[in-house]
C-alpha cells in the first residue's frame, strides 16, 4: 500500500490519482483543512476514486490529522511507501501564524518518521520546498546552496527535511526529500498567482502583480512533479538524497502576468499591488542532480504549461472559478 499524507491536496491528489491509475493500493490521510476551499479537495478525492473504477488499483480516504501520532503509526505500519505531502503550505499563512505551521509541518513529519522506525516501510518521500533556500546567492542553485529560509514556512520545511535526513541516517530508513519549486496545473491551490491571474483575465479584469513584478519564479508543471515521485517507487538511487524538482525555465511575475493576459485578454493592462512579506526574490532550480539520479527531465516550460492550465480552467470554470474568486 502507498500512503499519501495530504493526499486530498493539490500535489498529493495528483500523486494519489496517478498511483491508483498505475494499479497501486492507495490510502490518503488528510484532515481536509479549510485553508482553501474544501470543494477542490473533494474534487481531488473524486478524481482518485474514479481512477480506481475498473482498474486494479484501490483508493481509501482516512480523514484525520497528521498530528495524531497513533493514527499515523497505524497507517504507516501498513504502508510500503509513504509520500508525506501533508503540510500547512503557503508563505503568507506562515507569516500570520508561524506556530501552527511548525506544529503541522515539523511535528507531523516527526510522527511519520517515528512511525517509520517501528515499521517495515520501504521508502519515505518528503515534500520539501525551494523555500528552504531563502535569498539565493547565485542562480540557478543546486542542492549544495546554503539554506537560509526567510519565512516561517521555509524554516519548518528545512527543519522537517533535516529530520527526514537524520532519521534516515540514524535509524536506517530509506528517505528522499524533493524540493519542489512553485508547482502549478489543474486543480492547483486557488490562492496562487497563476490561478489568480487567469481568473482575473477571464473576467476582463487586469491581473494584479504584487510589487514591481521583477521577482522570478521557477514554475513547475504538476505532471513533472508526479513523474519524479513515481520514479521513487522503482529505484533506491535517491535514498538519503535531497533533490531539486523544478522546471529550470524561470519567468518574472510581470512576464507571467503578460503571458497569461496575452493568451486570454490582450487588451488588458497590468496593475500593481503591495509586495508581500516573506516572499523569495528569485527561485531557479539546478536540476542536474535529479537528472543524474532519477533521469528527471522537466517537460513543460511556462508557456506550454500555462496554455494547458488555461485550457483546463476553461473546461472547469463553472466550479473552479468561484473558489479562486473567494480565496
Ligand atoms: P495543499 O495545501 O493543496 O495540500 C496539503 C494537504 O495537506 C491539504 O489537502 C491539507 O488538507 C492537508 N493537511 C494540512 N494539514 C494537515 C494535517 N494536520 N493533517 C492531515 N492533513 C493535513 O498543498 P500542495 O500545494 O499540494 O503541497 C503539497 C506539499 O508540497 C506540501 O508539503 C507543501 O509544503 C509542498 N510544496 C508545495 C509547493 C507548491 O508549489 N504547491 C511548493 C513547494 C513545496
Q: How far does residue 90's CA lie from ligand 1's centre (Å)?
A: 9
pLDDT at 127: 98
Q: How far does residue 83's CA lie from ligand 1's centre (Å)?
A: 11
Alpha carbon nearest to ligand 1 atom 44, residue: 129
Q: Any residues with CB less than 8 A from the CB of 221 and at least 6 apart, and which?
A: 183, 184, 185, 247, 298, 299, 300, 305, 308
Over the stretch 186-220, which tens digit does the pLDDT of each residue have?
A: 999 998 999 999 999 999 999 999 989 999 999 99
Q: How far does residue 181's CA lie from ligand 1's centre (Å)?
A: 13
Question: Is 153 part of the annotated catalytic residue set?
Answer: yes
Cα torsion at 191, 196, 198, 202 (round to 10°)?
Answer: 120
Q: How far does residue 305's CA lie from ligand 1's centre (Å)?
A: 21
Across the range 102-121, mean pLDDT stands at 97
Please state, in angstroms and rounded to a whole number, the distance separating the CA atoms of residues 241 and 247. 19
Fold exhibited by the domain 185-221+247-284+300-327: UDP-galactose 4-epimerase; domain 1 (3.90.25)
Over the stretch 128-162, which tens digit does the pLDDT of each residue have?
A: 999 999 999 999 999 999 999 999 999 999 999 99
Q: How far does residue 13's CA lie from ligand 1's centre (Å)?
A: 10
Alpha carbon nearest to ligand 1 atom 25, residue: 10
Output the nine-digit C-alpha cell for 137. 546567492
Over the stretch 11-68, which tens digit does the pLDDT of each residue have?
A: 999 999 999 999 999 999 999 999 999 999 999 999 999 999 988 999 999 999 999 9
Please state, in angstroms and rounded to a whole number, the distance separating the CA atoms of residues 70 and 27. 16
Residue 196 DSSP label: H
pLDDT at 280: 79
- DSSP secondary structure of 14-54: HHHHHHHHTT-EEEEEE---TTS-HHHHHHHHHHHHHHHTT
**Could you tell me which of 33, 13, 323 has the C-alpha nearest to residue 191?**
323
Encode 155-185 in three state secondary structure.
HHHHHHHHHHHHHHHHHCCCEEEEEECCEEC
Mutate to test the pocket of ligand 1, among 9, 13, 115, 218 (most ligand atoms within 8 A of CB): 9
Domain ranges for the chain, please list them: 185-221+247-284+300-327
Alpha carbon nearest to ligand 1 atom 15, residue: 87
Query: Residues near ligand 1 with C-beta < 6 Å?
Result: 6, 8-12, 29-33, 41, 65-67, 85-89, 104, 108, 127, 129, 180, 182-183, 189
b/e map 237-270, b = 16+ CB within 10 Å: ebbebbbbbbbbbbbbbbebbbbbbebbbeebeb
Alpha carbon nearest to ligand 1 atom 35, residue: 127
Amino acid at each position: 500500500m502507498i500512503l499519501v499524507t495530504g493526499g486530498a491536496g493539490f500535489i498529493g491528489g495528483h500523486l494519489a490519482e496517478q498511483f491508483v491509475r498505475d494499479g497501486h493500493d492507495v490510502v490518503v490521510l488528510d484532515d481536509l483543512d479549510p485553508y482553501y476551499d474544501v470543494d477542490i479537495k473533494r474534487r481531488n478525492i473524486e478524481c482518485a476514486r474514479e481512477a480506481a473504477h475498473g482498474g486494479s488499483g484501490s483508493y481509501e480516504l482516512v480523514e484525520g490529522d497528521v498530528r495524531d501520532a497513533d493514527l499515523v503509526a497505524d497507517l504507516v505500519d501498513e504502508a510500503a511507501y509513504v509520500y508525506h505531502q501533508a503540510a500547512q503550505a503557503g508563505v503568507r499563512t506562515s507569516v500570520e501564524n508561524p506556530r501552527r505551521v511548525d506544529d503541522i509541518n515539523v511535528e507531523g513529519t516527526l510522527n511519520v518518521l517515528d512511525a517509520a522506525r517501528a515499521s517495515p516501510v520501504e521508502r519515505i518521500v518528503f515534500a520539501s520546498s525551494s523555500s528552504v533556500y531563502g535569498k539565493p546567492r547565485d542562480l540557478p542553485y543546486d542542492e549544495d546552496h546554503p539554506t537560509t529560509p526567510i519565512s516561517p514556512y521555509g524554516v519548518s520545511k528545512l527543519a522537517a527535511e533535516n529530520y527526514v535526513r537524520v532519521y534516515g541516517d540514524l535509524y536506517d530508513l530509506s528517505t528522499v526529500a524533493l524540493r519542489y519549486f512553485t508547482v502549478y496545473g489543474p486543480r492547483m491551490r486557488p490562492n496562487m498567482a497563476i490561478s489568480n491571474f487567469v481568473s482575473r483575465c477571464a473576467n476582463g479584469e487586469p491581473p494584479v502583480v504584487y510589487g514591481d513584478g521583477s521577482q522570478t519564479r521557477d514554475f513547475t508543471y504538476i505532471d513533472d512533479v508526479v513523474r519524479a515521485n513515481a520514479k521513487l517507487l522503482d529505484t533506491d538511487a535517491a535514498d538519503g538524497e535531497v533533490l531539486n524538482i523544478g522546471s529550470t525555465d524561470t519567468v518574472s511575475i510581470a512576464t507571467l502576468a503578460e503571458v497569461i493576459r496575452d493568451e486570454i485578454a490582450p487588451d488588458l493592462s497590468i496593475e500593481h499591488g503591495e509586495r508581500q512579506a516573506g516572499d523569495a526574490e528569485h527561485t531557479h532550480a539546478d536540476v542536474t542532480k535529479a537528472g543524474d539520479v532519477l533521469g528527471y527531465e522537466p517537460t513543460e516550460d511556462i508557456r506550454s504549461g500555462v496554455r494547458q492550465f488555461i485550457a483546463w480552467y476553461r473546461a472547469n470554470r463553472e466550479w473552479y472559478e468561484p473558489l479562486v474568486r473567494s480565496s
